[in-house]
Amino acid sequence: MINLVIDGNIVLGWYFEDRASDYGDRVLDAVVDQGGVIPAFAVTHLTDILVDAERRNKITQTQAGEMMELLFSLPIEVEPLNDELAVIQVQSLARQHSLSAYEATYLYQATRDNRILASEDETLISACRHAGVEVFVK
């Protein structure tokens, strides 16, 4: 089983130099070696960011396509929230830890299968620690 849940904001660092970090590079190395999981909403969010970057002439359509090809060339599983119980649990985690539903989805995916979360979001990291979820070492 793949053991690493990846915050979509980490993926942005693989695309955009101004969002890059040493931490993101270590996450990428781990994904290449072990694979990872990302929530389906994060792929839509990344696509939206790329479309917006195209519109603002920050990247070309070709570059946007190459960036998505990178994501899908990696051993990353895209997991939807596709049942009522999962949604209820995400809502509960969001309330319990004062998270957005997006952040709570990452936490849910990590808690559900006892996975490690890769994120630089301090609010999400704090919630993980309170929930007993291991965070990928910075």
Q: Could you read off the pLDDT of 91-103 as tens digits, one per residue? A: 999 999 999 999 9
pLDDT greater than 80 at residue 48: yes
Q: What's the rounded Cα separation, in Å, for the pair 106 and 37?
A: 10
pTM value? 0.91
Give φ, ψ of 8 to 5 degrees.
Answer: -60, -25
CATH 3.40.50.1010 fits 4-131, yes or no: yes
pLDDT of residue 1: 59
- Mention every residue, 6+ apart, whose C-beta is less than 8 A from residue 119: 7, 9, 10, 106, 125, 128, 135, 136
Identify the residue with better confidence: 82 or 50.
Answer: 50
Q: Kindly indicate the confidence band of residue 82, based on its pLDDT and cuts at 50, 70 and 90.
A: confident
Provide the β-strand partners of residue 39.
79
Rounded distance, CA 24 to CA 27, Å? 5
**Cβ 35 vs Cβ 2: under 8 Å:** yes
CA distances from 137 to 69, 70, 88, 96, 99 (A): 27, 23, 29, 24, 21
Per the CB < 8 A criterion, the answer to whether 117 and 132 are in contact is: no
- Can you tell me which residue has the tokens 């301090």? 122
